[in-house]
Amino acid sequence: MLKVNRLTKKYKNVVAVDDISFTLNQGDIAGLLGPNGAGKSTTIKTIVGLLRKNAGAVTISGCPSISREAKKKFTYVPEVPELYDMLTVWEHLQFIAYAYEVSDFEEKAERLLERYEMWEQKDKLAKELSKGMKQKVSICCSLLPDPDLFLFDEPMIGLDPKSIRETKLIFKELSEKKKTVLISTHLLDSIENLCQRVLVMKKGKIIIDMAMEEMKSKLGNNELVSLEDLFLEVTKDE
Amino acid sequence: MNEFKLLLKRDGWIIVNHFREIKQNPKRLVVYFLYLIWIGSLVFNVVLGNRNPGKIHLQLGPQIMGAGFAGFGIALIFYYLYHGTKESSTFFTMGDVHLLFPAPVSPKRVLLYSMLKQTLLYFFLYGFVILAFMPLMMQLAKINLLYFPLMYCGFIGLLLVIGPLNFLVFVLGSKYGIQLRIQQGIQALTVIIFIYLAAMIISAGDLVQGLLLGLNAPFLEYLPVIGWCKAVFMTAITGYSTYSAIALALQLLFIICCIVLSYRVADDYYEDILTATEKRSLRKRRKEGSEKSRQFSLPFSKRQHAGVRSIGSGPWVFFWRSRVEYSKNDLHPFLGLWTLLYLLAGIAVGFYGSKYAAGLTPLYIANGAIAYIIFIFSATNAAQHELTKPYIYLIPGSSLLKIISSNLTDVVRMSFNILALNISLGILLPAPLHVIIVMVVFVISFYILNLSSNFLTRVLFPNAVDQKVLYPLFLMLQILLLLVPGIITGGILAFIYRDILLSCLGISIVNIIIIGILLLLSNAVFARLEWK
């Protein structure tokens, strides 16, 4: 589904993403982890096409990720949600429905807003929303087109506990529907029982790319060992 | 859905929502009403001025306007051309970046739509500038209002070309890796212009004469963009000719070419406009008061570490913080680029003042103008910035000390600037020491008056919407309440004693009394402040 091959992204002299490669197959739910400044957001933004790659290739179902064909197959939730200040919540969903050519979107949009308890806010302007509410709208916008690939950059920042639980449920549903999901997050417990695969980045490189089970077995299959422990173990400085 | 249809639909919703917002909160109409009154008064002034032939038009008025326009055009176009080699302009919002760019839409069509929309918007928006300058221009020269539309197009054309040209230069520069060559070309052209102007000044034997001759040379009107715009602009002053129409057509054609060329060459521009779009979003947040305005800083003076020692504790931490900020962004915590600019302004005014034996008048005019500008434009300052952060409310200490501490660096800096201006003026004119001291106190009293009164805004208009919407109204009230006592006192003193210095001294004393009252009331006012 998503193939990242020898991707490099530089900002002037700083190498933010350094020659990374990975592939996500249909139905994969992968966590993209790493300390601050590891290059996670840059990787996702380069896949989305917001940043230009310096080297390598990113393809989605065989098409270059910046092509129109590829863009029909994925949606993206940015780290800091920025909406159109003067559009209402409902108009945002309408806009996305028209942009992704989603037919009969009303019922689905209504269901999504109700799941995130945003139905009553549907006529509010984006500029009147709190940061958490904006994040909810951003997630709803990404779920509405129902693409094959979802790219989430810190989706749970600013969400209330109920919305975090709802988002986790949605991730499970996406997994059941064989959708591919890449989630970059620092909230490790939120994806611990969800991700089948973990990619750990450090200083622009992928230092770990393995199945969650494999990772746990390497650490002795101890039930007391959490993803947080594994993460701290692999990212600690030499 | 077709991209143009999608974007038109979005903008339609936005317009409708603006109207809905006004309906829900009619207070917003006040600001539009004030703007309408302002524009109306400008238009009224223009029409009245045109009907009244008894104006004193300067002999060199048309030349001054022509040279001013050419100089402004050259500076503007060259600045944006050079800027375009480093950073692109933007036609987008962060909403576009996060919602529209990842969507399956054609980047080219999105760009074309956004460029055309911005061009159309700016065509009407920038009209305020020319209307605001009309009274001044009508004092300088006789303007034939029949050709005002051409004057408008000449001025707007210059501004409309900036965005697409800047974007095009950046895209071409980064696409073909020719930024350095473009920079060199611009530098070479700049040097040529400077040499040309220097030659004109030397041959005329006078700076002003040389500049007027050089910037009004007939061949300049044939130069692309700047010359064409000037020819169209000057039609209302120098009269219509066939070339006016040709220049207008060329100007329009150039803008269209820039837009079409941008459309043709830009296919992967999302990253190019990201920085400019983020900056634009930040500027918007600053306007709303959540971020401090960027200080005018030198690129080479940016430092990561500033070894600033603290003096005192508690509320004095704000004084330390502002010194750290200025140390990192300017030459010195208390001295900066502005000090040099004030010094240069003082030298220039002093030089011409002494040349034409104008006495102390240039000193009074310069200080009066600066006092006025400072009072009107120093709305965004350290204290207002501190009021948007929680620390000023949380750190223990008296509110009087907090206000003094958070404003002290700005006051000291401004004092040095005004001192630099007046010392240079005083030496060149020359002016006695007591006059310099009075003028420094006079200007600084206006600055402190504004700084010590700004926190009142938050108490009088605690609602963020009110603050934004009613700001012009509050500014008028502030001017009436705070400036009028000083001005009345100054007026009475000037009337009785016929002495400008005494009048300035009177104004300063009244201002200081008002500052004292505001500071004494600060504890009571501060208790009513809320952090939002």
ipTM of the complex: 0.89
B72 & B40 share domain: no
Q: Give chain A positions within 8 Å (CB) of B171.
A: none
Assess if residue B298 is contained within a domain: no
Residues B40 and B73 in one domain: no
Measured at the CA of B261, the angle between CA B184 and CA B251, to 5 degrees, comes to 80
Please write the tens of the pLDDT for every residue from A64-123: 998 989 999 999 999 988 999 999 999 999 999 999 999 889 999 999 999 999 999 999
Closest CA relative to residue B402, chosen from B459, B347, B451, B335: B451
Quick one: pLDDT band at residue A1, thresholds 50, 70, 90?
confident
pLDDT by residue (tens digit) across A200-221?
Answer: 898 899 988 888 888 777 766 6
Residue B300 lies in a domain: no
Contact A51, A216 (CB under 8 A): no
Paired with A75 in beta bridges are: A150
* Interfacial A residues in 92-111 facing B (CB < 8 Å): 92, 95-96, 98-101
- What was the pLDDT predicted at B13? 95
Residue B141 is assigned to a structural domain of this protein: yes
Residue A130: pLDDT band by 50, 70, 90 thresholds?
very high
The ranges of chain B with pLDDT < 50 are 290, 292-296, 300
Which among B223, B253, B287 is the end of a domain? Answer: B287
B254 and B345 inside one domain: no
Q: Within 10 A of B107 (CB to CB), how many other CB atoms are there?
A: 18
Q: How far is CA B337 from CA A124, B120, B196, B340, B444, in A?
A: 45, 37, 28, 5, 19
Q: Where are the alpha helices (DSSP H) in B288-336?
A: 317-329
Residues B99, A141: C-beta atoms closer than 8 Å = yes
Instruction: Please check whether residues B218 and B135 belong to one and the same domain.
Output: yes
User: Is A63 touching B (CB cutoff 8 A)?
Assistant: no
Spatial distance between the Cα atoms of A106 and B450, rounded to a whole number of angstroms: 53
Q: Tokens 């529209």 map to which residue?
A: B100
CB B310 within 8 A of CB B302: no
Same domain, B430 and B482: yes
CB nearest A49 (choices: B94, B106, B270): B270
Shortest alpha-carbon distance between residue A101 and chain B (Å): 6
Beta strand pairing call for A197-202 and A205-211: antiparallel
Q: Using CA coordinates, name the residue in chain A closest to B15.
A: A86
Residues B28 and B83 in one domain: no
Whether the CB of A147 is below 8 Å from some CB of chain B: the reply is: no
Please return the burial class of B368, using the count of CB atoms within 10 Å of its CB with bins 0-12, 13-18 and 19+.
Answer: middle
Q: How many domains does chain B have?
A: 3
Q: Which amino acid is at B394?
A: L
Q: Scanning every residue of chain A, which has its alpha carbon at the shortest distance from the alpha carbon of B8?
A: A95
Query: Do B113 and B252 belong to one domain?
Result: yes
CATH code of domain A1-71+150-157+180-238: 3.40.50.300
Return the C-alpha torsion angle B137, B139, B141, B144, nearest 10. 70
- Partner B, chain A 160-179, Cβ-Cβ below 8 Å: none
In this complex, the residue of B14, B101, B105 whose CB is nearest that of residue A86 is B14
The label of the residue with tokens 């005002």 reads: B148
Domain-embedded: residue B408:
yes
Beta strand A55-60 with A2-11 is antiparallel
A82: region left, alpha or beta (phi > 0 left; psi from -120 to 50 alpha): beta
How high is the pLDDT of residue B528? 76
Best probe of the A interface among B9, B10, B23, by most A CBs < 10 A, is B10
Residues 6+ apart with CB under 8 A from A35: A202, A235
- Inspect the interface and report whether the beta carbons of B10 and A84 lie closer than 8 Å: yes
Chain A environment of B281 (Cβ under 8 Å): 82
Tell me: do B506 and B466 sit in the same domain: yes
Same domain for B33 and B106, yes or no, is no
Distance CA A158, CA B443 (A): 47
Distance to chain B for A52, nearest Cα, Å:
6
Encode burial over A68-93: b for 16+ CB neighbours within 10 A, e otherwise.
eebbbbbbbbbbebbbbbbbbbbbbb
Provide the residue type at B117 as one letter. Answer: K
**Is B295 part of any domain?**
no
Q: How many CB atoms are located within 10 Å of the residue B181 CB?
A: 12
The answer to whether A52 faces chain B, any CB pair under 8 Å, is yes
For residue B156, tell me if it sits in a domain.
yes
- Domain boundaries along the sequence of chain A: 1-71+150-157+180-238, 74-146
Least Cα separation, residue B270 to chain A (angstroms): 5
Question: Token digits for A210?
Answer: 């393995």
Query: Within this chain, do residues B390 and B471 fall inside the same structural domain, yes or no?
Result: yes
Identify whether B211 is part of a domain.
yes
Q: Contact B28/B35 with Cβ under 8 angstroms?
A: no
Min Cα separation B256/chain A (Å)? 27
Is A5 in a helix, a strand, or coil? strand
Identify the residue whose tokens are 């393809």: A59
Query: What does the DSSP assignment read for B327-390?
Result: HHHSSSSS--HHHHHHHHHHHHHHHHHHHTT-TTHHHHHHHHHHHHHHHHHTTS-HHHHHHTSS
| Inter-chain contacts counted by CB atoms under 8 A, chains A and B | 91
Nearest CB neighbour to B102, from listed A71, A82, A86: A71
Q: Which of B194, B257, B264 is nearest to B225 (CA)?
A: B257
> What's chain A's length in residues?
238
Distances (CA, A) of A110 to A86, A123, A139, B387, B500: 20, 12, 14, 40, 71
**What confidence category does residue A12 fall into, taking pLDDT thresholds of 50, 70 and 90?**
confident
How, if at all, do strands A29-33 and A197-202 pair?
A: parallel
**pLDDT confidence of residue B306:** 62
Cis amide linkage into residue B430, ω under 30° from 0: yes
The whole model's pTM is what?
0.78
Pair B195, B266 in one domain:
yes
* Structure tokens that stand for A168 in this block: 């986790």
Q: Which positions ≥6 away from B484 have C-beta within 8 Å? A: none
Find chain A residues with C-beta within 8 A of B270's C-beta. 49-52
Instruction: Name all contacts of A8-13 with Cβ < 8 Å and 24+ positions apart.
Output: A8/A53, A8/A54, A8/A55, A8/A56, A9/A39, A9/A42, A9/A43, A9/A46, A9/A51, A9/A52, A9/A53, A9/A54, A10/A54
The string of DSSP letters for B52-70 reads -------TTHHHHHHHHHH
For residue B268, list chain A residues with Cβ-Cβ distance below 8 A: 49, 52, 66
Q: How far is CA B253 from CA B161, B171, B350, B417, in A?
A: 11, 20, 45, 46
Same domain for B368 and B507, yes or no, is yes
DSSP B419-464: HHHHHHHHHHTT--HHHHHHHHHHHHHHHHHHHHHTHHHHHHS-SH
Q: What is the pLDDT of residue B314?
A: 83
- Rounded to a whole number of angstroms, the distance from the CA of A226 to the nearest CA of chain B is 33
User: Is residue B293 in some structural domain?
Assistant: no
Domain that holds residue B220: 60-287
Tell me the H-state helices in chain A: 40-48, 68-71, 89-99, 106-115, 131-143, 161-176, 188-191, 212-218, 227-235
Bigger pLDDT: B232 vs A234: B232
Query: In this structure, what token pair is assigned to residue B140?
Result: 């300088």
